[in-house]
Structure 1
């Protein structure tokens, strides 16, 4: 007899959706991958996910649960579009998180049902880790490709965009509501809102500039010191290279041979030691501190301008109401965008963001109102 329990059906639908989305994203990453060996690995992972979907559906039918396999979700399709624009490095990170969540769910279910753990539950996590690890059997050039994509700015830029706009919106909405509460939405709100926008955006931009610039300067100094060590003590650096290779599982004799060959090319030895010993990704040094600062300024300003807009053309409670309306829409959009990182429901994340943002605005409005009454009295 087929189950009609909505919670059970939703649980199975969510599980199928996760598998379908993973298969879809693996296929998209594979299609975008230029290295055939790596593309085949991602393609096979996608095919395995589709097999999981098929077997899960068959089992549910045997248990009397009729369920329709869903198409790729809005989230998966949006992630694919982001991958096309910004690179698929961030998508690989999302897939890693998805595989970890699937593994955790499988282990919890087996523990609940007292089913022995086989050790195969985390196979996909291990495969992805191998692809993103220097211990992989794929060539060093291929690994560099994957690591470069995984650490690319695509995912970080997306996260920074959402969080930067959120900071601007919440902080400036709170400021605007505080001043509006003190003045009933009359004089001073527009000035305070624009001052808050500029102050916050400039602060964010300066902080980002200092962060990027100081990191670059630190990395450059460490890299210069490493080059100096190679030039003044090549034997010692060769031993370090041999230890690095040995730690990767390469036989000791072969590790020493590889180290001796690598040290003959100073630039190549420096590149290896910078990456393996210092843990520095040289791609990060190519970023512009000014570009990061300007981007942070604009992202903060985009969020911060929303609660201010109505005060350009109206005032009083009309402006306050419209300001809250614009801010509510912005908060919901930001909450929906956060689901790209978390995988939660759009409605859940959107309304949660609205609730927290409006709670902050209400608090500052009440405080402003009290201060305004106190001053007037």
Structure 2
């Protein structure tokens, strides 16, 4: 039995109103557009991810069939989906990145079917599951870029906020334009070097901790000489968290493969899958991202602006950049981009305002 025939509203006696027909035609257009988005995303992927996206497109086709059956002769000519869905399609055809998946995840979370009487419970449940499927696909992308993304957001945001605060605080003391510019450039270099050094130490320390916890490759050389019936290999797996039965079964499997000559050093490989990157690469990324943010508050002074005009332009430029980084964080985290952007802006301006007040007080005391 099809979804459309199980829906009570489809079998009611009174004809649908023009308002209902317009809403249903909108749903039909959106389902077609969403199916196209999934097909476009699938076209930029391969393997399992491609299959998952094509399955989602097929599910949207089922929903499309529901609205076609409900509308009947009132379906009319095919319409365009709403602006948001069409934008997703454009992005999917050209990029197909984790950003697009994050947007699709948010779109699925806003499905109106839970409160739409003409939609079936099955359709509403489908949309909830679709959100989780897309969340899982987006999580893969987020995991792949987590290290770079962290360095980019933290580095750029720190550069924006700290150097704006420094420049505004120095200006508030009443010093000359040259001093403010020198302080801004010094803050850029000092902060970028500090960020790079800190990121290098952080990544190196994390790698060293993982290496200290990884299996010793020399221990593999002892495997062929263990007593098959009484050995301590199972204790190794128990020490790493396996239950007794599971550890003994895994130890027996490993020894069997050692005897057959097919054993590979899988334990060590499994422990080294952490995507922590290299210390030098992380340091360079942090340096560049911090510098790219810290240079923005200095730009007005580099171009010769002075006084209040320079402060206002610096604050405006930094505000735009903070809104951008906040929106990106919101998109990738699946949260509301505007709220994240405004939060980022409030934090940055709050820090700058506090430093400005301190600068005024310091300048007054010195004077």
Same fold (TM over 0.5): yes
Corresponding position: 1:292 with 2:282 = yes
Cα distance in 1 for residues equivalent to 2:214 and 2:185: 43
Deviates more, 1:19-28 or 1:360-369: 19-28
User: How big is the shift at 1:304?
Assistant: 0.7
TM-score, structure 2 normalization? 0.66
Tell me, yes or no, if the aligned pair for 1:185 and 1:320 is still in contact at 8 Å: no
Q: 1:123 to 1:322 in 2, by over 3 A?
A: closer
Aligned with 1:42 (options 53, 56, 76)? 53
Tell me, yes or no, if the aligned pair for 2:105 and 2:134 is still in contact at 8 Å: no
Cα deviation digits, residues 154-187 of structure 1 (max 9, x gap): x542453233212210121111111111116635
Q: Which residue of 2 aligns with 1:270?
A: 265
Q: Which residue of 2 aligns with 1:360?
A: 351
Q: 1:354 to 1:219 in 2, by over 3 A?
A: closer
Cα distance in 1 for residues equivalent to 2:64 and 2:252: 48
Q: Which residue of 1 aligns with 2:221?
A: 231
Tell me, yes or no, if the aligned pair for 1:339 and 1:349 is still in contact at 8 Å: yes
User: How big is the shift at 1:202?
Assistant: 1.4
Cα distance in 1 for residues equivalent to 2:239 and 2:165: 55
Matches within 5 A, 1:58-69: 69=81
Q: 1:200 to 1:256 in 2, by over 3 A?
A: closer
Cα distance in 2 for residues equivalent to 1:60 and 1:171: 58
List runs of 5+ in structure 2 lacking aligned partners: 1-16, 73-78
Q: 1:256 to 1:217 in 2, by over 3 A?
A: closer
Q: How many residues align?
A: 330
Cα distance in 1 for residues equivalent to 2:86 and 2:109: 17
SS at match of 1:183: coil
Corresponding position: 1:307 with 2:297 = yes
Cα distance in 2 for residues equivalent to 1:265 and 1:211: 42
Cα distance in 1 for residues equivalent to 2:331 and 2:92: 7
Aligned with 1:326 (options 317, 327, 349)? 317
User: How big is the shift at 1:338?
Assistant: 3.0
TM-score, structure 1 normalization? 0.65
Matches within 5 A, 1:1-377: 23=35, 26-35=38-47, 38-49=49-60, 51-52=62-63, 55=66, 69-70=81-82, 72=85, 74=87, 78=91, 83=96, 90=98, 94=102, 101=109, 123-124=129-130, 151-153=143-145, 155-183=146-174, 186-225=177-216, 227-233=217-223, 236-237=232-233, 258-264=253-259, 269-272=264-267, 274-275=269-270, 278=271, 280-281=272-273, 284=275, 287-312=277-302, 313-343=304-334, 349-376=340-367
User: How big is the shift at 1:281?
Assistant: 1.0
Q: CA RMSD in A?
A: 5.1
Cα distance in 2 for residues equivalent to 1:173 and 1:74: 34
